[in-house]
């Protein structure tokens, strides 16, 4: 009897909790149930952590050249035939032989050269967050060298280069989406709130932009960027080019929500109370569709990342010395290069992983965006 009462109480409590929960709490609860989206969420946190402190995670200076040209990735080992198992991981050095016909380096593992991997090693100097000068790195070797993902045609460490590329590639997504967001908010807001001819014109422009093939147009605009511009300028113009075609979906979402919400009672009430237009939109309507905006933004980021990668890959987006995943893939254009040095394709894995994670996250957010729907 007592037990039953308790059970009833707990369900009542549960219901009450649901009634009292804010919209964002409900969204979070629903989002937590989407396993893949949760995993994606944490993977992306890791990605952005790498983007923020790529210098800390890179064991080697990504611009530093070495004598090891196109060296294959070193394997992390715990087992040595001489000293047996050791808890501290290590890598073997390279033994270089020369191919008598092609004169290319052939790399063999040099079992005598054993480089132990330590955490928090001192290495090249950098400024953490661009502020604090330090030389401590997450991991590294005290003497010798470590190339976990091999090296490129100038003997530079691919692992460090990919870590640095994460910063540029992922931030292009955010900056690009921020620009699209502003465009989408203004144009979608105008369209939805004003209605009439303005709405008609903006909607037709969106129709046209959506039905255009993006890559040829991106290529065309990016190719028009002068070669002598500074890397920073090229970075921003590239994101702007990507956003020119990226704001449309967002503007559509905002317009649709504004249109459906314009007729709601609470908007009428606010208007009767004498609230200004901007106050009605920002204070009363925006919270109502903020979750949908976040979903559209999340799903727009991967397109930006892919766009940047495509442009840089073809050599019309970002250019060396800037490091992005697309710039790194520029070196993997030739079949023979990637056939002989498949680790040059590793940036691919990161691109696909980041895009996949954003898609999972967006999918989970979309389900959670409307917590009142069944």
Partner 1 sequence: MIEYLIRRLLFLIPVLLIVSIVAYMVIELPPGDYLTTHIMRLRAAGTHVAEDEIARLTRMFGLDKPPHIRYFLWIWKIVRYGDLGLSFQWNKPVTEVIGERLALTMTISIITLLFSWTIGILIGIYSATHQYSIFDYSFTFLGFIGVSIPSYLLALVIMYFVYSRFGLAVTGLFSPAYADAPWSIHKVLDLLSHIWLPVVIIGTGGTAGIARIMRGTLLDELRKQYVITARAKGLPERRLIFKYPVRIAINPLISSISWLLPSIISGETITSIVLNLPTCGPVLFRALMTQDEYLAGSFILILSSLAIIGALIADLVLAWIDPRIRYEKMEG
Task: Give the total of residues touching partner 1 (CB under 8 A).
Answer: 42
Q: Which is nearer to partner 1, 297 or 344 (CB)?
A: 344
Does residue number 212 form part of the binding site for partner 1 (CB under 8 A)? yes
Q: Does residue number 196 form part of the binding site for partner 1 (CB under 8 A)?
A: no
User: For residue 7, what are its two tokens?
Assistant: 């059970």
The sign one gets for the Cα dihedral 227, 228, 230, 231 is positive
Q: How large is the angle between the packed helices 158-194 and 248-262, nearest 10 degrees?
A: 40
Among 21, 38, 39, 356, binds partner 1 (CB under 8 A): 356
Q: Which stretch binds partner 1 (CB under 8 A): 48-56, 114-122, 173-181, 212-220?
A: 212-220
Give the contact letters, 264-303, x = binds to partner 1 (CB under 8 A), - = no. --------------------------------------x-
Within residues 302-341, the interface with partner 1 by CB under 8 A covers 302, 306, 309-310, 313-314, 316, 329, 332-333, 335-336, 338-339
As a whole number of angstroms, the longest Cα–Cα distance in the chain is: 89
**184: helix, coil or strand?**
helix
Among 76, 182, 194, 208, binds partner 1 (CB under 8 A): 208
DSSP secondary structure letters along 345-370: GHHHHHHHHHHHHHHHHHHHHHHHH-
CA distance 74 to 70: 12
- The burial class, CB within 10 Å (0-12 / 13-18 / 19+), for 334 is exposed
Binding positions for partner 1, 120-139, rule CB under 8 A: none
Q: Pinpoint the alpha helices (H) of 211-285.
A: 214-223, 231-244, 248-262, 265-272, 277-279
Which residue lies nearer to partner 1 by CB, 87 or 212? 212
Residue numbers at the binding site for partner 1 (CB under 8 A):
204-205, 207-208, 210-217, 219-221, 223-224, 226, 302, 306, 309-310, 313-314, 316, 329, 332-333, 335-336, 338-339, 342, 345, 348, 351-352, 355-356, 359-360, 363
């Amino acid at each position: 009897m007592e037990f039953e009462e308790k059970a009833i109480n707990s369900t009542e409590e549960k219901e009450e909790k649901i009634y009292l929960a804010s919209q964002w709490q409900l969204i979070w609860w629903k989002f937590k149930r989407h396993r893949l989206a949760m995993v994606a969420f944490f993977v992306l946190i890791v990605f952005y952590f790498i983007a923020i402190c790529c210098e800390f995670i890179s064991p080697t200076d990504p611009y530093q050249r070495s004598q090891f040209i196109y060296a294959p990735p070193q394997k992390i080992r715990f087992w040595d035939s001489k000293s047996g198992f050791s808890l501290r991981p290590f890598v073997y050095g390279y033994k270089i032989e020369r191919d008598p016909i092609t004169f290319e380096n052939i790399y063999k593992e040099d079992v005598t050269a054993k480089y132990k991997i330590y955490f928090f090693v001192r290495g090249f100097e950098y400024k953490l967050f661009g502020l604090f000068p330090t030389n401590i790195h997450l991991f590294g070797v005290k003497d010798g060298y470590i190339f976990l993902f091999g090296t490129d045609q100038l003997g530079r460490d691919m692992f460090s280069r990919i870590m640095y590329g994460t910063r540029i590639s992922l931030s292009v997504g955010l900056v690009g989406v921020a620009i699209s967001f502003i465009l989408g908010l203004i144009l979608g807001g105008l369209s939805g709130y004003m209605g009439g001819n303005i709405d008609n014109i903006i909607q037709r422009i969106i129709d046209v932009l959506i039905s255009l093939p993006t890559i040829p147009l991106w290529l065309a605009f990016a190719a028009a960027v002068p070669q002598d511009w500074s890397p920073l300028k090229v970075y921003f113009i590239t994101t702007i080019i990507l956003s020119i075609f990226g704001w449309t979906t967002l503007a559509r979402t905002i317009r649709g929500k504004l249109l459906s919400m314009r007729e709601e009672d609470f908007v009428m009430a606010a208007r009767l109370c004498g609230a200004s237009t901007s106050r009605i939109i920002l204070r009363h309507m925006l919270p109502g569709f903020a979750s949908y905006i976040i979903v559209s933004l999340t799903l727009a980021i991967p397109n930006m990342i892919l766009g940047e990668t495509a442009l840089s890959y073809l050599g019309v987006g970002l250019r060396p010395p800037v490091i992005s995943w697309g710039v790194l893939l520029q070196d993997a254009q030739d079949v023979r290069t990637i056939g002989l040095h498949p680790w040059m394709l590793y940036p691919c894995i990161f691109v696909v992983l980041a895009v996949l994670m954003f898609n999972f996250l967006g999918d989970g957010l979309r389900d959670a965006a409307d917590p009142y729907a069944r």
